Amino acid sequence: MQSTEQASNPVGARIHAAPASFWDALPRPIIGLAPMDGVSDHPFRHIQAAHGRPDVVYTEFTRVEGICRARQITVLENFLYSEIQRPVIAQIYGVDPEAFRQTAILVCQLGFQGVDINMGCPSKNVAGGGAGAGLIQTPGLAQEIVRAVRAGVSAWANGATVRDCPSIHPNIAGEVERRSAKLPPAARLHRAIPVSIKTRIGYDAPVVEEWIPALLETEPAAIALHGRTLSQAYRGRADWTSIARAAELAQGTPTLILGNGDLASRNEGVARVVEYGLDGALIGRAALGNPFVFQTAPLSVPDMRLGPIAMEHGYLFEATFRHAKRYHFPPMRKHLNAYARRMGMPVPQRVKLLQSKSPQEAEAVLRAFADFRP
């Protein structure tokens, strides 16, 4: 176990000695980009990394049972990333420990620096089947899953590859090998990567007192804690007092605690980390249409720097997905809407922007707006 020193750095966050993973090498406090299904795809993460520079990014979550059943390589779409996103963590979810073990090997082979287990998703499709936040009710299974992921990571470190995973189809294994061959040499090394968890403070009521110690027993590298229960979904305000209690419980353990919920800026994140004695924080929704959320200088409103970024995002979205069987531009519209709102684009123009079917059409609307402004 590593030793933990209290409050001996300028912002009062905990410092962990003996660097063992990328987490330990990150500046404190750590302010990262939270995973968001349907949002945090490769183009979004790339734009955030290029213009905002979050300290760490997570992919959208991917179901391990899906990885182990699939024949089509589209199942690996969530695991696309670019080098500038590093450190980048793959987030996975599910209920079957053996599928977690095999997927952990795949994640390692794809060159990710960390693997994160989702124990926080409240959706009926996920939690209803016992995965995501459903695991808060089955701490024994949650622990078994962490250990299975670690077993996969150890197997990789000892030379295993996707070809040693009986449930991973040869099509998928072949695609993993193709991507892996393009990685920089350091990312191809058979090295153990840290296992982390993202969760909530409880199922229908906060249970930090029991839930966090159960997770700490498995010694994850980090726990990112969203300050809401499953029942709350996204209602009410995040409970940062429960997050602070989790940090107290983690004192003297090797596990970092990152708070999450309702942060509007990096500065607000840093203030919470200091106030509640955390190691860092994750920002989710506030990053939509706003990579500058990770910078210390606040966004000016309206901020016209977002116009060219929106265009760059649209073209990267097309370049990333245009070869996919079911490619279409509409999933990009939520990002365009977010950029446009922050640029103060009037509703009629925004409506036009949201009807665009290609990055070229989006660019035309964005340029007309930018040119129109003094």
Ligand X SMILES: Cc1cc2nc3c(=O)[nH]c(=O)nc-3n(C[C@H](O)[C@H](O)[C@H](O)COP(=O)(O)O)c2cc1C
Residue numbers of the site for ligand X (CB under 6 A)? 34-39, 60-61, 91, 118, 120-121, 198, 226, 260-263, 283-286
Query: What is the smallest separation between the CB atom of 198 and ligand X, expressed in angstroms?
Result: 4
271-300: b (≥16 Cβ within 10 Å) or e? ebbeebbbbbbbbbbbbbbbbbbbbeeebe
Q: Closest distance between ligand X and the C-beta of residue 74, in Å?
A: 17
Q: Nearest-CA neighbor of 295 among 272, 268, 276?
A: 268
- The SS3 of residue 309 is helix
Q: What is the bridge-based pairing of β-strands 114-119 and 88-93? A: parallel
Q: How many CB atoms lie within 10 A of CB 7?
A: 12
Is 90 or 193 the residue whose CB approaches ligand X more closely? 90
Pick between residue 200 and residue 350 the one whose CB is nearest to ligand X.
Answer: 200
Nearer to ligand X, 21 or 91 (CB): 91
DSSP-derived 3-state class of residue 344:
coil
The amino acid that residue 47 corresponds to is I
Shortest distance (Å) from residue 8 CB to ligand X: 29
Give the type of residue at 35: P
Residue whose CB is nearest to ligand X in the complex, by number:
284
Report DSSP letters for 148-199, one per residue.
HHHHHHHHHHTT--GGG-TTS-HHHHHHHHHHHHTS-HHHHS-----EEEEE
* Residue 93 or 329 having the CB closest to ligand X: 93
For ligand X, the closer of residues 38 and 374 by Cβ is 38
Can the peptide bond before residue 302 be classed as cis, meaning omega within 30 degrees of 0?
A: yes
Nearer to ligand X, 90 or 121 (CB): 121
Task: Check: CB of residue 146 under 8 Å from CB of residue 215.
Answer: yes
- Which among 279, 270, 308 is positioned nearest to 291, based on CA atoms? 308
92, 64 Cβ separation under 8 angstroms: yes
Q: How many Å apart are CA 131 and CA 127, to the nearest integer?
A: 5
DSSP state of 7: S
By C-beta, is 39 or 99 nearer to ligand X?
Answer: 39
Q: 60 or 239: whose CB is closer to ligand X? A: 60
Q: Rounded to the nearest whole angstrom, what is the least distance from the CB of residue 58 to ligand X in the complex?
A: 7
Closer CB to ligand X, 90 or 310, in the complex: 90
DSSP 275-301: HHT-SEEEE-GGGTT-GGGGSSSPPPS
